[in-house]
Structure 1
Amino acid sequence: MQLPALRLAPLFLALVCSTAPAQPGPQMNLPRVELTAGMYRIDAQVAASDAARQTGLMFRQDMPAQEGMLFVFEQPATQCFWMRNTLLPLTAAFVADDGTIVNLADMKPQTDDSHCSAKPVRYVLEMNQGWFAKRGIKAGSKLGGSLFKR
């Protein structure tokens, strides 16, 4: 009577293996908003839910130069970011409600180093590392867009 059980073992194993959770992938279909930084246009994906903010730019292999991700929080707070499962070197701009960049932080891929806002903010904009520096955009510069209070 053990013979039928042995024949079912591979089938059971195949079924269990096929229902294992898949490796999460990059978020590509979030809503988008157009922002400006001086004369430069930014096409930003908007991560406004807990799930979208937690995944962020993880697993992305590349990102066009003019694109980024804007993290939107319900209220200003000290925001801290890390780069676990994030493959791209990024710069985070911590942004006040009026669009003023409070501080910038360059972040290395696939690290758990914490990068925090210098004061409470509601927005964080991640761009490819060097994007802000190459355009002379630094702390005190203002971003434009419909989300920011005037």
Structure 2
Amino acid sequence: MSLFSPWINSARLFVLMSFALGVILLSSCKDKPQKLEESAKEVSFSKEGELQVFYRESDSLLAEIAIEIADSEYETQTGLMYRREMKDTQGMLFIFQEEAYHSFYMKNTLIALDLLFIDADMQVVTIAKNAQPYDETGIPSRVPVQYVLEIKAGLSDRLGISEGDRIAFQRIP
């Protein structure tokens, strides 16, 4: 028996015990299942402008909608996410730098929506009706657009808005 045998056995025991303790600690630190949490902060409507929809045949006014404007990268990415409600007289107008193909989805969106795709000449070119909450399927514009108006689902039918109608909008200073 060597002079260092008890020390080597103690060192081995220490390493083995440290390893076992590490395994126990790591296994107890599993991530808890996370719940899908909606925004804790209530997001409310902030009127930033007025939008009018005009009938394509006679230019008569079909609707007037108070709008929130999404024109920054952050605003266009978040849109109406986490909104619990929206009145029939409200909507969100997305304004893009230039006319291009755009696609939307309903991730974290709690309200069913109609999406009006509008070209640079302010003409409604496509309407995607009744987009469902939380659906992450892409909703494409099908043609290049510069604006998209999101309103409550069914509102485009109730107001008689259709492809070919025109819009105008004014920002509130």
Q: Which TM-score band applies after superposition, normalised by the shorter structure?
A: 0.7 to 0.9
2:39 and 2:159 map into 1 onto residues whose CA distance is: 36
Structure 2 counterpart of 1:37, which letter? V
1:143 partner amino acid: I
The whole-number CA distance in structure 2 between the counterparts of 1:120 and 1:26 is: 33
Aligned length: 126
The code of the aligned residue for 1:92 comes to L
Name the larger-Rg structure: 2
**Paired residues of 1:27 and 1:55 also in contact (CA < 8 A):** no
Aligned counterpart for 2:53 among listed residues 30, 37, 43: 37
2:80 to 46, 57, 69: 57
CA distance in 2, matches of 1:67, 1:142: 17
CA distance in 1 between partners of 2:42 and 2:142 (Å): 28
* Rounded Cα–Cα distance in structure 2 between residues aligned with 1:44 and 1:141: 18
CA RMSD of aligned residues (A): 1.9
Q: 1:87 aligns with which of 79, 88, 110?
A: 110
Q: 1:27 to 1:54 in 2, by over 3 A?
A: farther
Q: 1:141 to 1:59 in 2, by over 3 A?
A: same
Q: Secondary structure at the match of 1:145?
A: strand
Q: What's the counterpart of residue 114 of structure 1?
A: 138
> Does structure 1 residue 98 correspond to structure 2 residue 121?
yes
Give the structure 1 partner of residue 15 of structure 2.
none
Counterpart for residue 155 of structure 2: 131
Is the Cα–Cα contact under 8 Å of residues 30 and 47 in structure 1 kept in the other structure? Answer: no
- Residue segments in structure 2 that go unaligned for 5+ positions in a row: 1-37, 55-60
TM-score of the superposed pair, with normalisation by structure 2: 0.67
CA distance in 1, matches of 2:67, 2:138: 23
- Specify the code of the residue in structure 1 equivalent to 2:99: P
Gaps of 5+ in 1: 1-21
Distance across 2 between alignment mates of 1:66 and 1:31: 11
Q: Flag the 1:121–1:28 CA change in 2: closer, same or farther, 3 A.
A: same
Structure-1-length-normalised TM-score:
0.77
Q: Deviations over 1:22-54 (max 9, x none)?
A: 946465465611111133111110000000111
